[in-house]
Amino acid sequence: MKRQYVTTAIDYPNAAPHMGHVLEKVLADVTARWFRLRGDAVRFQIGTDEHGIKIQQTAEKEGISPKELVDRNAPLFQKLYDTIHISYDHFIRTSGQEEHWPTVVELWKRLKKAGMLEKKSYTGLYCSGCERFMTKRDLVDGKCPNHQTAPQEVKEENWFFLLSKDTENLRKLLTANWDKEEYRIVPDFRAQETLSLIEQGLEDVSFSRPKTSLSWGVPVPDDEDQTMYVWCDALTNYISGLGYFTDHEQREFWDSAEVTHVIGKDIARFHALYWPSMLHHADVRIPDRLLIHGFLTSEGEKMSKSLGNVVVPSEVIEKYGIDPLRFYLSHEIPIGRDGDFSWDRMKKLFDSKLRNDTGNLLNRVLVLLQKEGSGLVSLSGNDPLIKDVWDKYQKSMNEFDYSNAIQSAMTLATAGNQYIDIKKVWTLKGEEKNVELSVLAEYLRHISLLLLPFMPETAQRISQQLGVPYAEEMLQKDFVIGDKKEWGSQKDWKRIGEPEILFAPIDS
């Protein structure tokens, strides 16, 4: 059995979660669920990045301590992810001194011993929104392109990670391998963007701030006047959550697993360059892949409070439900590309793909089976369409092309409705009618399996209404598709369940 370790970027809880957070977590959840469904052992970790200047400044504005701020906001993220069925195994909080800090301190010590940390004075442009120093070539019209603010000029004495020493090694990592360690960035064009950063020249990275500027964080070992800066602290959560360097290690999910980091394009350079370099010099293996997603806009424009176009996840869920939101994000946004949330497009997809194609097919078949009352017949042989859909689906899922995969599933729903109309099933009699309805029920059984990573609750409801024998097991983490994807595999499946409306109409 192959092991898989899936992580997301840890979220910054200086404010409530937004749709960008939801996009990333759904992408990672689909990944983790698919790995489990194909039979892999999976550990899936998410969490919150709770140190740094922004947390400190936000807490000061509110007149509370940084700890009070993160203790208030971190549960908001966890509650939202529980609501949208993110099947994580572990939620890490970097303010946790018992779990996170020991690994961070040990990693720092290893980097220092390897000669990769050096204390020196520095004058640079600091963006508090990005929590990093920027060069002039990073700016657009003198401003940070992500936050549209001019960075502050800062002169400090900090500890620096000597990334510039690894320029050639990192180039090898992205073009061939580095000391026989392979590394893949998905999609490929994001790897080319990272290579271009290397060609522009890598600079050393500030890994600490004076305690007078940043007091909320992990103290630098043997230098109590300095506080660890975000990258050594935050990036290390991926191994601290496994107890690395401590007496409660779960190293098998790092040392002998495929490691996949799911992150946004705005932090790609830190994961693609800083993190493998840090791990290499700490004598820890590097991850296997980065799965990089783009940004989410609203009605074609960047989400902004001033524009009034911020999409609040709870509002979408209240109107359409959890699984339709998960469906929209998976269907509409190809991996690595920017995507757009449109209320109009949401309604069109809900009505056409979910209500009319999927919900209508299920209802038509179940109502006809109820009227027939003779139960299902066993099916043998193969169905070319089912085989073709599964072949394309599995290839897309294994290549993280989830938008294409879910559209493959939808072709089966469309085909089922066409099948009813072409065969005019409602006009048939006796055994002929029963066989055709059994074929359609089998189509729906496959649709529910295909939708399971994307719309888990809906997939189970379809199978429950169909009366499929394994329906109650579908949301368990040890549920595996296996030979269930074979045509007519459920020989004991004879009776259907009770039909219910899958997707109720939504008012405009």
Q: On the CB side of 503, how many CA atoms lie within 13 Å of its CA?
A: 29
Catalytic hit among 79, 147, 387, 395: 147
Q: Is 130 tagged catalytic?
A: yes
- Write down the catalytic residue from 127, 293, 331, 433: 127
Burial degree of 414 (CB within 10 A; 0-12, 13-18, 19+): middle
Candidate list 120, 248, 302, 477, residue with the active-site label:
302
Measured in whole angstroms, the distance separating CA 125 from the mean position of its chain's CA atoms is 31
- For the question of residue 127 being annotated catalytic, the response is yes
**SS3 of residue 420 by DSSP:** helix
144 is catalytic: yes
21 is catalytic: yes
Buried b (16+ CB within 10 A) or exposed e, 102-114: bbbbbbbebbbee
Please tell me the number of Cα atoms within 13 Å of 347 on its side-chain side. 7
> What are the C-alpha distances in Å from 275 to residues 1, 12, 91?
28, 19, 20
- Residue 492 gets which letter from DSSP? T
What is the end-to-end Cα distance of the chain in Å, rounded?
Answer: 48
Set 25, 54, 112, 144: catalytic member: 144
Catalytic residue among 136, 180, 305, 429: 305
Catalytic choice (112, 130, 331, 433): 130
Q: Look at strands 41-48 and 90-93 and give their pairing.
A: parallel
List, in sequence order, every beta strand (DSSP E) within 229-316.
258-264, 289-293, 296-298
Q: How far apart are CA 327 and CA 426, in angstroms?
A: 31
The catalytic residues are: 18, 21, 127, 130, 144, 147, 302, 305
